[in-house]
């Protein structure tokens, strides 16, 4: 067995399944489903074709090695050894191209994302830090030409957030943001601290990719949908109808609520998007726990309780603890200059995956 064989066999099996689905009358009659399957098939094509070429290469090598175990004329042996060397070089090249194809066509890399930021320990200061993180990611999205959409928020009276959920759409959004999940820690003097003492507060970030409805369907009978009056500002803006929506997924107990829109339908649609992303994330977290080796190959575990980064304001220092990277550019990072952090995290992940594949 060569590196990544098990993963490639699964991809080939899915490729064959998609070929059969695209040939079925039911799928051909459904334009949306047909296009989705065709897009997935196209994404798998390069890796599957390279895998088939590598498997053929492996078979030819084994046959030639078997022949060399037998007695032959010296000229034949010389030719066979030369051919074996060529096959080995070709096999190495194919494996390198396969790793590139798998990295390029990761099924999640092109996904839009939903990010959730919640205040952690530290009270009002933690809520203010959550707002700082939201601003940082919004600025980063602006730099990259991505669009952002606030889906749900619970602001505090002093300008922070107890929680804010927002979507980001754009090229490489998931690839660039996937490593932001975890606990972010800030060390600074709070604006409310008269003594000038440095406090440590935290906020948690979750990065979920947003599945399409057809990719992750939810049975309507598993949902309880409640409406209530939004707790927004008073005066002329006071909500006079039950436009806020809370959706509970009964089997899992997961809840998603939205009250930011004045339309009950818009709130319901946003809450469903959040719930679908959370359910898929929960499913993947459970699967990830079963694959110990895969967890070791990741940059961190993606666990919400894992401290991943410290923002030290007195020293203008940001440290990512997973890759032992420290940058003294606090202001520019908080203004959305995240590419250096992102590049280093992506590179470290690829190096670990490469080491796992060779090991």
pLDDT in tens, 178-217: 899 999 999 999 876 767 789 999 999 999 877 765 556 7
What is the CATH number assigned to the segment(s) 220-288? 3.30.160.20
Q: Which of 12, 34, 216 is nearest to 111 (CA)?
A: 216
pLDDT band at 280 (very low <50, low <70, confident <90, very high): confident
* Residue 80 clears pLDDT 90, i.e. is over it: no
Query: What is the per-residue pLDDT for 233?
Result: 45
Percent of the chain surpassing pLDDT 70: 84
Query: What is the per-residue pLDDT for 285?
Result: 74
Q: Write out the CATH class of domain 113-214+309-358.
A: alpha beta
Distance between first and last Cα of the chain: 12
CA distance 71 to 77: 9
As a whole number, mean pLDDT of residues 324-332 equals 95
* Residue 235 clears pLDDT 80, i.e. is over it: no
Q: Distance from CA of residue 347 to its chain's centroid?
A: 15
- The structural domains of the chain, with segments of one domain joined by +, span 5-104, 113-214+309-358, 220-288
Query: What is the per-residue pLDDT for 326?
Result: 97
Query: What is the per-residue pLDDT for 150?
Result: 93
Q: Looking at the whole model, is its pTM more than 0.75? A: no
Query: What is the per-residue pLDDT for 212?
Result: 64
CA distance 159 to 234: 17
Query: What is the per-residue pLDDT for 302?
Result: 44
Most confident of 99-108, 199-208, 254-263, 348-357: 199-208
- Pair 247, 254: CB distance under 8 Å: no
As a whole number, mean pLDDT of residues 56-81 equals 85
As a whole number, mean pLDDT of residues 237-243 equals 59
E strand residue ranges, 250-353: 254-258, 307-312, 317-320, 325-327
By DSSP bridging, strand 307-312 and strand 182-188 are: parallel
* Residue 229 clears pLDDT 90, i.e. is over it: no
What's the Cα-to-Cα distance from 148 to each of 135, 144, 169, 333, rounded to whole Å? 11, 11, 7, 18
What's the Cα-to-Cα distance from 290 to each of 148, 197, 304, rounded to whole Å? 34, 44, 17
CA distance 241 to 317: 48
CA distance 201 to 352: 31
Mean pLDDT, all residues of the chain? 83
Task: Reduce the DSSP state of residue 30 to 3 states and report it.
Answer: coil
As a whole number, mean pLDDT of residues 100-112 equals 64
Query: What is the per-residue pLDDT for 5?
Result: 81
Look at 75 and 150; give whichever has higher pLDDT: 150
* Residue 355 clears pLDDT 60, i.e. is over it: no
Please report, for the chain, how many H helices and E strands are present, in that order: 10, 11
pLDDT band at 10 (very low <50, low <70, confident <90, very high): confident
As a whole number, mean pLDDT of residues 275-286 equals 83
pLDDT band at 105 (very low <50, low <70, confident <90, very high): low
pLDDT band at 148 (very low <50, low <70, confident <90, very high): very high
| Angle, helices 74-104/339-358, rounded to nearest 10 degrees | 140
What's the Cα-to-Cα distance from 199 to each of 45, 186, 187, 192, rounded to whole Å? 53, 8, 6, 11
pLDDT band at 282 (very low <50, low <70, confident <90, very high): confident
pLDDT band at 255 (very low <50, low <70, confident <90, very high): very high
| Angle, helices 5-22/31-68, rounded to nearest 10 degrees | 140
Give the 3-state DSSP-derived string for 219-267, with helices as H, strands as E and coil as C: CHHHEEEEEECCCCCCHHHCCCCCCEEEEEECCCCEEEEECCCCCHHHH
- One-character DSSP codes across 161-222: EEEEEEEEESTTHHHHHGGG-EEEEEEE--TT-TT---EEEEEEEEEEE---TTTS---GGG
Look at 207 and 231; give whichever has higher pLDDT: 207
As a whole number, mean pLDDT of residues 162-173 equals 91
């Amino acid at each position: 067995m060569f590196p990544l064989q098990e993963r490639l066999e699964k991809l080939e099996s899915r490729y064959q399944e998609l070929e059969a689905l695209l040939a079925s009358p039911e799928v051909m009659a459904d334009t949306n489903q047909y296009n989705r399957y065709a897009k997935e098939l196209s994404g798998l094509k390069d890796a599957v074709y390279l895998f088939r070429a590598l498997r053929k290469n492996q078979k030819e090598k084994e046959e030639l090695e078997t022949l060399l175990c037998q007695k032959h004329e010296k000229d034949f042996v010389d030719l066979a050894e030369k051919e074996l060397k060529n096959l080995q070089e070709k096999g190495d090249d194919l494996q390198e191209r396969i790793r590139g194809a798998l990295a390029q066509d990761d099924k999640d890399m092109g996904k839009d994302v939903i990010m959730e930021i919640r205040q952690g320990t530290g009270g009002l200061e933690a809520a203010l830090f959550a707002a700082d993180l939201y601003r940082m990611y919004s600025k980063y999205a602006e730099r990259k030409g991505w669009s952002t959409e606030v889906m749900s928020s619970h602001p505090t009276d002093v300008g922070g957030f107890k929680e804010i959920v927002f979507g980001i759409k754009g090229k490489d959004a998931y690839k660039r943001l996937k490593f932001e999940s975890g606990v972010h820690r800030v060390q600074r003097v709070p604006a409310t601290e008269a003594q000038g003492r440095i406090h440590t507060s935290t906020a948690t970030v979750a990065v979920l990719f947003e599945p399409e409805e057809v990719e992750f369907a939810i049975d309507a009978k598993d949902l309880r949908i409640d409406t209530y009056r939004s707790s927004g500002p008073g005066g002329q803006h006071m909500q006079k109808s039950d436009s806020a929506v809370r959706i509970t997924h009964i089997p899992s107990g997961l809840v998603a609520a939205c009250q930011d829109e004045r339309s009950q339908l818009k709130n319901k649609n946003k809450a469903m998007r959040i719930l679908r992303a959370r359910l898929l994330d929960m499913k993947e977290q459970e699967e990830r726990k079963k694959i110990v080796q895969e967890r070791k190959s990741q940059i961190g575990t993606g666990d919400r309780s894992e401290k991943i980064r410290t923002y030290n304001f007195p020293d203008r220092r940001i440290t990512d603890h997973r890759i032992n990277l420290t940058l003294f550019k606090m202001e520019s990072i908080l203004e959305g200059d995240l590419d250096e952090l992102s590049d280093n995290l992506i590179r470290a992940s690829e190096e670990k995956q490469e080491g796992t594949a060779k090991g």
